[in-house]
Amino acid sequence: MGDYKENQDLLHGTRGTAGPLSHVRIVLVEPSHPGNIGSAARAMKVMGLSRLCLVRPRRFPDPEAVALASGAEDLLGEALVVDTLPEALQGCVRVYGTTARDRHVAWPQGDARAAAVDAWTLARDTGPVAFLFGRERTGLTNAELDLCQMLVQIPTGPVYASLNLAQAVQVLAYELQMAGRQCGIPAPGLPKAGLATVAERERFYVHLQEVLLGSGFLQPPREIHMMRRLRRLFDRAMPDSGEVEILRGILTEIQRWAGGQHTGQSSVMEDRSGDS
């Protein structure tokens, strides 16, 4: 495990491994059992994935993880360990949230196969993508799913839908490997300039929420629901970085027009520095 700086190449997908799978990040959020981390690393390596990221693992590094990695110790050694989810998602253009449960909020959904094809294609044509896996007991929170553009379910029988964490990683990793074998043609309709990163979109959503609250359009407590709908709307448009910049520019001008009350936002150009 290196420090954050040493792992920048992991974040930006510039390490030796060639091909789209080197731009697919597997993110485990607060895994409790080191054995699951080891098994997930093995599942990934076998299927040609290499970028493992751990958000606040309960025990890591740990001999149990090494024991279960069995041949994939290198992935554990290179795993990026971070404190927050945004750090794990830095530079990503799309995030897939895996979940065993049907969620009541209307996020776009796909099964593991469709998501893998989508992710593989984006990873090849646009930039890094991430699959999030939740805690063994409780999965991912709604706030974490808010950072995702698609929910992914592994189809199961009707009675029991919850796979073991590492087995869920295995199924997704297999689908990603298969997607690579099947996808030969560039995806239509992707912006030429490359999709805006999650961090860029996130800054836009924070800015939008601020303006909509200030104008009175958003009213607590319905604000969360409405922001979710607006996220879905803008995510569906798949804006590139320049387009997000235009949207933020519009918001900044509206704030100025409304009386310069809201000086908290730095300019779009300033915000973009250090972003990738």
Rounded to whole angstroms, how far apart are CA atoms 253 and 260? Answer: 9
Closest CA to 10 of 20, 21, 22: 22
- Asked if residue 30 binds ligand SAH (CB under 6 A), the reply is no
Instruction: Name the residue nearer to ligand SAH (CB basis): 125 or 146.
Output: 146
- Asked if residue 34 binds ligand SAH (CB under 6 A), the reply is no
Of 96, 107, 120, 133, the one binding ligand SAH (CB under 6 A) is 133
- Asked if residue 114 binds ligand SAH (CB under 6 A), the reply is no
Rounded to whole angstroms, how far apart are CA atoms 133 and 163? Answer: 11
Rounded to whole angstroms, how far apart are CA atoms 87 and 5? Answer: 12
Distance of CA 10 to the CA centre of its chain: 14
SS3 label, residue 263: coil
- Asked if residue 140 binds ligand SAH (CB under 6 A), the reply is yes
Rounded to whole angstroms, how far apart are CA atoms 181 and 45? Answer: 17
Q: How near is the Cβ of 194 to ligand SAH at its closest, in Å?
A: 27
Q: How near is the Cβ of 37 to ligand SAH at its closest, in Å?
A: 13
Closest CA to 99 of 29, 37, 38: 29
Q: In this chain, which stretch among 4-12, 131-139, 174-182, 218-226 interacts with ligand SAH, using CB under 6 A?
A: 131-139
Of 50, 126, 153, 197, the one binding ligand SAH (CB under 6 A) is 153
Instruction: Name the residue nearer to ligand SAH (CB basis): 24 or 218.
Output: 24
- Asked if residue 99 binds ligand SAH (CB under 6 A), the reply is yes
Of 100, 178, 212, 213, the one binding ligand SAH (CB under 6 A) is 100
- Asked if residue 162 binds ligand SAH (CB under 6 A), the reply is yes
**188 CB-near residues (< 8 Å, 6+ apart):** none
- Asked if residue 161 binds ligand SAH (CB under 6 A), the reply is yes
- Asked if residue 165 binds ligand SAH (CB under 6 A), the reply is yes
What amino acid is encoded at 268 in this protein? Answer: V
Rounded to whole angstroms, how far apart are CA atoms 253 and 72? Answer: 52
Of 98, 126, 149, 255, the one binding ligand SAH (CB under 6 A) is 98
Of 168, 198, 227, 251, the one binding ligand SAH (CB under 6 A) is 168
- Asked if residue 225 binds ligand SAH (CB under 6 A), the reply is no
Strand partners, 129: 24, 94
Q: Cα-Cα-Cα-Cα dihedral of 203, 243, 231, 161, to 10°?
A: -100
